Structure 1
Amino acid sequence: MKAAVASRALLNDPIGKTLWRMTWPVIFGIATLISFNVVDTFFVGLLGTEPLAAVSFTFPVTFTVVSLSIGLGIGTSAVIARHYGAEQGEKAHFDGYAALVLSAVLVALLSLLGYLLMTPIFALLGASQTLMPLIRDYMSIWFIGSTLLVTPMIGNAVLRASGDTRTPSLIMASGGVLNAIFDPILIFGWGPVPAMGVQGAALASLISWVVGVALVLWLLQREKLISWIAPAGTTLWSSMRQILRIGLPAASANMLTPLAMAVMTAIIAAYGAPAVAAFGVGSRIESLASILILALSMSLPPFISQNVGAGRYQRVEQAYKTALAAIMALQLVIYVLLLLLADPIAAAFSQEQAVDEIVKLFIYIMPLGYGVQGCVILTNSSFNAIHQPIKALWLSVIRLFVFFVPCSYLGSLIADIHGLFVGGVIANLLTAVIAYLWFNQVLKQTLAQQAAR
């Protein structure tokens, strides 16, 4: 019943108000979800530069697994939301069940591979032998629990596809709060609990994932949004194939980010452990500064997919342009706030002057490009929502490996780490122009085809 009401709202209510109503709960949820990394970084930073650098080295690897989960969530949301738009509820419910099974199997296989190849992977990233024991302490627990990470993410995608963005946000928030509570207890010890260092940070995340799994499965069952009974003409494999058709390119596009981050980490490693630690902090700051972008990238696709399912492409075009305009304005405000807070932010995450200075340099330069980077991310999610995942994949390739990594590296050759950051901003601007023109061209072609029918 709730899904039907939400679906009608997505198809008929005013676009701006509907997007805001869908997005504000996601902002809250993502803020707490991102707090996993930020809180971990803060408390681990109190242990010293080496533990902070070790956890910073794990980011490209952990984000690879997270990216697969996000990609599968994108495929899940796009397929299910289109079914709701076309009034095919039974197919939507079965696809939700198929997505949960598929994601658990794929993430388990990827994590097993990462666990077995842990040492050579981090050696390739440039981690020193002194950091390797700390990295193994953290990642051994993280890999074991990663299957518990993906289930709430896919469950939340099923809920969002039905038009419900509030419940997934509450689930994400509960996980973030639990992580923040258990982090200091397990990292530094408390009463009978021994100090576990970086292992404690990983274990705190694991505990929060367990709670997330229990919550999301209970809610999906209660709202009757998943069913293991296949509708006529549908099989488990056919549902999985539909999800994979969008999910795999989307996951591949997302996995390009940690691959690019791995290359960037290797480049920055040449500047020493303080630079790596500062870049790790900068990555967490970027995550926080991009909360609005990430929230819209989750709330916009169900809106677009349901309207595509109902054949309402004019609403798709209006929603896309409304989202981009909002992001450009809001990210400008965020940049000004970051400038004003640069000193206390850097001081909060580092106890060494060398790290502090590079963190502030990151804040002065990189957030200049977050608005246009947001345009690229929203275009990417919009391509997936209209079931054009290959275009989304190519856009990610263009952003990261045609522009971002080459421009950043060239900038580093010209002006060291200052130039590296400036190159990243230029790369995001160039990609945003291409993304906007490309998506509008695809929409015009689709509208022309619809008019000709």
Structure 2
Amino acid sequence: MKKNELLTKDIKTLIKQIAIPSSIGMFFNTMYNVIDTFYVGMISTVAITALSYSFMVFFMILSISFGLSSAITAHVGNSLGKHKHKLAKIFVLNGLTFITLASILLCFGGYIFLEQIFTLMGAKDTALTLSLEYTNVILIGVIPMLLGLGANAALIAKGDTKSYRNTLIFGFFLNLILDPLFIYGFYFIPSFGFVGVAYATVFIQFITFFYITYKLYKTNLFDFKTPKMFLPDIRIYKELARQAIPMSLNMLTMSLGTMLIMYFVSFYGYKTVAAFGIGYRVEQIILLPMLGLNTAVSAIVSNNYGAKNFDRIYEVINKSLKYGYIMSAIGVIFLVLFGKYIIMLFDTDLEVINTAYTYVVIESVIFFAFITLFISNSVLQGIKQPFIIPYVSVYRQLLMPFILLTIAVKYFDCSVVTVWIIIGIIIYSAAIWIYLYMKRKLEYIK
């Protein structure tokens, strides 16, 4: 049996081995979204506004998969750390069937409630019509996309982040070709306009699903020799749900919180909404690659918690935070110097450019808080103690933003800059609290 390197290998080496491929993959995934924004920006500012609304709903759908994927990584990693390979396999197979059922329900619910959701976010007229057209197509790719993420979660538990990285790099370059091809048409391929971006995404999601499933099949965690393992096991479902629900609620709250911010931003006009959408994408160019550290923390901590190697857990926390803060500092400098030039690639409207640049500069300072939050969450997930996470998320995403932004926007008529600053203060307070909680929880379970 192959030795579990996550239990023995040097932590610094492991973080690099897992985080770098994951970060590269996340970077190309971010650039994938940037390419979408670039081509949509060539259509119109209203189209970018519609894409921004659609992305928030898309993120809400992803939240369910994120929780289940995190649960699969944690349980499979814990099982491998205890050298219980059959149990790890059971979690993988039942996890994939669980995700299939969840995906079907999400698609069904999406088609029913889309218009109401977009309307609540403030979408109207052409922006509402385009948002509905785009997202109705995206829903076609939800099932293969979420299944691909579930299969990748099992690969992460074994320390493999390279396979998914490869699909994201391939998807980025394929998207460069498919976006203009489906938007403008070519020979027998019709012109789909704005919706062509959605068709390109769905096509790429199917390719990703087949490749990641094949890579999982090549491991000892997935095969068709024991079909009974695919049958729903209520005990396994309960374990996965118990672990997944806090993280799914956390991500769902994040998406609802972003919608809440979008609602308040809409008071400043559709150009500010477009600026927020562009700024959000540019911010992700810097932030998401840092989240490769989360993947490393989740994989290493879950395996070592299963083996009760607490010294290694503390070491991975300290090193990952150090690397994250260094990357955050570099990100702040980069966005201050080059943020405006990147934004200008997506829109030529001066008001949109200036508003988006102000957003990314203020948000870049919050990178340090985000790193603290996400790594703390990954540790809690890895030690199977994620239950406080959704409560913190409600505080920072819904409760405090609703109270403070209502006062600032509706009663004091503050500028949109005040909105960005308020959000930053809330995130920093949440980051400090969850970090201290994580440290106390580790001391308690030792």
TM range (shorter): over 0.9
Q: Is the contact made by 2:260 and 2:398 (CA closer than 8 Å) also made in structure 1? A: no
Q: Which has the larger displacement, 33-42 or 377-386?
A: 33-42
Find the aligned partners of 2:161 and 2:136 in 1 and give their Cα distance: 33
Residue 275 (structure 2) aligned to one of 271, 274, 278: 278
Which of 306, 309, 312 is equivalent to 2:306? 309
Structure 1 residue 230 displacement after superposition: 8.2
CA distance in 2, matches of 1:321, 1:61: 35
Residues 381 and 392, structure 1, Cα contact 8 Å, conserved in 2: no
Per the TM alignment, residue 315 of structure 1 is displaced from its structure 2 partner at its CA by 1.1
Which of 369, 377, 380 is residue 380 of structure 1 equivalent to?
A: 377
- CA offset at residue 377 of structure 1? 1.3
How far apart in 2 are the matches of 1:314 and 1:116? 50
Correspondences of 1:38-187 after superposition (within 5 Å): 38-187=34-183
Relative to structure 1, is the Cα distance of residues 311 and 235 closer, same or farther in structure 2, using a 3 angstrom cutoff? farther
The match for 1:297 is 294
TM-score by length of structure 2 reads: 0.94
Contact 2:19/2:293 (CA < 8 Å) preserved in 1?
A: yes
- Correspondence 1:436 to 2:435: yes
Contact between 1:409 and 1:420, CA under 8 Å: does it hold in 2?
no
What do residues 198-251 of structure 1 show as CA deviations (whole Å, max 9, x unaligned)? 21010000010110111112111122322463899x962222222111112211
Alignment partner, residue 337 of structure 2: 340
Rounded Cα–Cα distance in structure 2 between residues aligned with 1:235 and 1:418:
50
- Deviation sequence 1:249-290 (CA, Å, 0-9, x none): 211111111100111111001111100111111111222211
Corresponding position: 1:349 with 2:346: yes
- Identical aligned residues as a percent: 23
Distance of 1:223 and 1:243 partners within structure 2: 21
Partner in structure 2 of residue 258 of structure 1: 255
Distance 1:80 1:33 in 2: 25
C-alpha separation in 2, matches of 1:305 and 1:335: 31
Cα distance in structure 1, aligned partners of 2:232 and 2:261: 43
1:389 aligned counterpart, secondary structure: coil
How high is the TM-score relative to the length of structure 1?
Answer: 0.93
Deviations 1:97-146 (A, max 9, x none): 11111112102211211111222221111111222221121011111221
1:422 matches 2:421: yes
2:259 maps to a residue whose letter is A
Q: 2:15 maps to which residue?
A: 19
Aligned partner of residue 270 in structure 1, secondary structure = helix
Q: Does the 8 Å CA contact 2:27/2:289 hold for their aligned counterparts?
A: no
Whether 1:214 aligns to 2:213 is: no
Kept after mapping to 2: 8 A contact 1:32/1:173: yes
Question: Match for 2:130: what amino acid?
Answer: L
The one-letter amino acid of 1:344's match is: Y
| Structure-2 change in CA distance of 1:259 and 1:301 (3 Å) | same
Code of the aligned partner of 1:443: L
Cα distance change on mapping 1:76 and 1:299 into 2, 3 Å: same
Structure 2 residue 393 is matched with structure 1 residue 396: yes
Mapped pair 1:324 → 2:334: no
- 1-side partners of 2:91 and 2:282: how far apart? 35
Q: Which amino acid aligns with 2:95?
A: A
| Separation in 1, partners of 2:370, 2:215 | 34
> 1:450: which partner in 2?
none
Q: Is the 8 A contact 1:186 1:197 kept in 2?
A: yes
Q: Distance in 2 between matches of 1:38 and 1:105?
A: 31
* 8 Å CA contact 1:361, 1:418 repeated in 2: yes
Unpaired segments ≥5 residues, structure 1: 448-453
Query: Structure 1 stretch 401-410 or stretch 283-292: which is displaced more?
Result: 401-410
Distance in 1 of aligned mates of 2:393 and 2:384: 16
How many corresponding residue pairs?
442
- For residues 78 and 196 of structure 1, the distance between their equivalents in structure 2, rounded to whole angstroms, comes to 41
8 Å Cα contact 2:14-2:296 kept in structure 1: no
Ranges in structure 2 where 5+ consecutive residues have no aligned partner: none
Equivalent-residue separation in structure 1 for 2:400 and 2:286 (angstroms): 22
- Judge which range, 304-313 or 90-99, deviates more: 90-99
Q: Identify the range of structure 1 (385-394 vs 251-260) with the bigger mean alpha-carbon deviation.
A: 385-394
